[in-house]
């Protein structure tokens, strides 16, 4: 891994749960971390500063990331909400973040995407980065938008992006599905540092999962970029993760990779294509 001690990096959504856990590992490896959020974090490390900004404002987004060597973009609504809210936070916010990077001359972005961009693949199908997107929800659909924005801004403006389709970044695996998709703060940090420094990054897509998970995904691209997960999913798992799925579990939820997100508002007929 290249020396990252001189890098100044902004983290959007930096006061959120995922970023807060990751910062404990990430911030000591960087020169300066600028936390960009609407909410001030409870604690700041010595090399962290806070900037309050609303990414739905292009001016605020641009000011928030000016002078940074890169951005880790984790801001947005992380669950299923109404379309109007999702368009503002996830679609407009991400679009403004990329336009702000162009205006401010920020060369690299690590885009926090989601496994829900491909959640409607069955669990017996191995999905690679080049497979067509199959979002399982409005939330997943907004992540597809973000991935396409990343491609557009590389093709037009040369902004390099590592798209990380994060599996599950809860504090620990808490159900059987999470044993397949969970990623630790340390492993997510490793992927972010790859995205910020690797010379071969143009627009690359990888899956964010720790060791022992990820059998639904072809994550060879992450390996080619040097990703070697250090944490084993089962070592961190809550006992509930190992409880067998009950016979009356929702069949849609158990059939598709996206789980609960697939079952939301689903008519119950499982369609395979």
Q: Does 2 map to a domain?
A: no
Structure-token pair, residue 59? 């001016």
**In which domain, by residue range, is 220 found?**
8-263
Q: Does 3 map to a domain?
A: no
Q: Does 271 map to a domain?
A: no
Q: How far apart are CA 117 and CA 120, in angstroms?
A: 8
Structure-token pair, residue 263? 């079952």
**Segments in the chain below pLDDT 50:** none
Q: Does 270 map to a domain?
A: no
pLDDT, position 169: 97
pLDDT, position 104: 98
Q: Does 236 map to a domain?
A: yes
- DSSP string across 67-104: T-SEEEE--S--S---HHHHIIIIIIHHHHHHHHHHHH
Catalytic residues: 139
CA 45, 49, 55, 60: dihedral to nearest 10 degrees?
A: 180
Q: Does 121 map to a domain?
A: yes
Number of structural domains (the chain) is 1
pLDDT, position 2: 79
Domain harbouring 68, CATH code: 3.40.50.720
Q: What are the pLDDT digits (tens) for 8-21?
A: 999 999 999 999 99
Q: How far apart are CA 128 and CA 63, in angstroms?
A: 36
> In Å, how far from its chain's centre is CA 226?
18
pLDDT, position 1: 67
Q: Does 1 map to a domain?
A: no
């Amino acid at each position: 891994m290249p020396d990252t001690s001189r890098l100044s990096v902004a983290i959007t959504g930096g006061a959120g749960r995922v970023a807060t856990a990751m910062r404990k590992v990430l911030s000591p490896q960087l020169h300066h971390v600028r936390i960009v959020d609407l909410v001030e974090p409870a604690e700041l490390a010595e090399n962290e500063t806070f900037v309050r900004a609303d990414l739905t404002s292009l001016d605020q987004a641009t000011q928030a990331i000016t002078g940074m060597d890169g951005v880790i973009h984790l801001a947005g609504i992380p669950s299923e909400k109404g379309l109007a809210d999702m368009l503002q936070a996830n679609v407009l916010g991400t679009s403004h973040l990329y336009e702000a990077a162009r205006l401010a001359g920020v060369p690299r972005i690590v885009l926090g995407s989601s496994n829900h961009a491909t959640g409607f693949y069955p669990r017996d199908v191995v999905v690679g980065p080049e497979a067509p997107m199959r979002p399982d929800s409005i939330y997943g659909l907004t992540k597809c938008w973000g991935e396409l924005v990343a491609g557009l801004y590389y093709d037009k403006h040369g902004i390099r992006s590592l798209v990380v389709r994060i599996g599950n970044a809860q504090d620990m695996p808490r159900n059987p599905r999470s044993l397949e998709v969970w990623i630790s703060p340390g492993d997510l940090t490793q992927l972010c540092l790859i995205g910020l420094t690797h010379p071969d990054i143009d627009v690359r897509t990888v899956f964010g999962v720790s060791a022992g998970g990820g059998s639904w995904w072809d994550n060879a691209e992450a390996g080619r970029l040097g990703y070697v997960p250090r944490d084993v999913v089962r070592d961190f798992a809550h006992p509930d993760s190992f409880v067998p799925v009950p016979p009356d579990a929702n069949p849609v939820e158990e059939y598709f990779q996206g789980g609960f997100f697939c079952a939301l508002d689903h008519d119950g007929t499982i369609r395979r294509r």
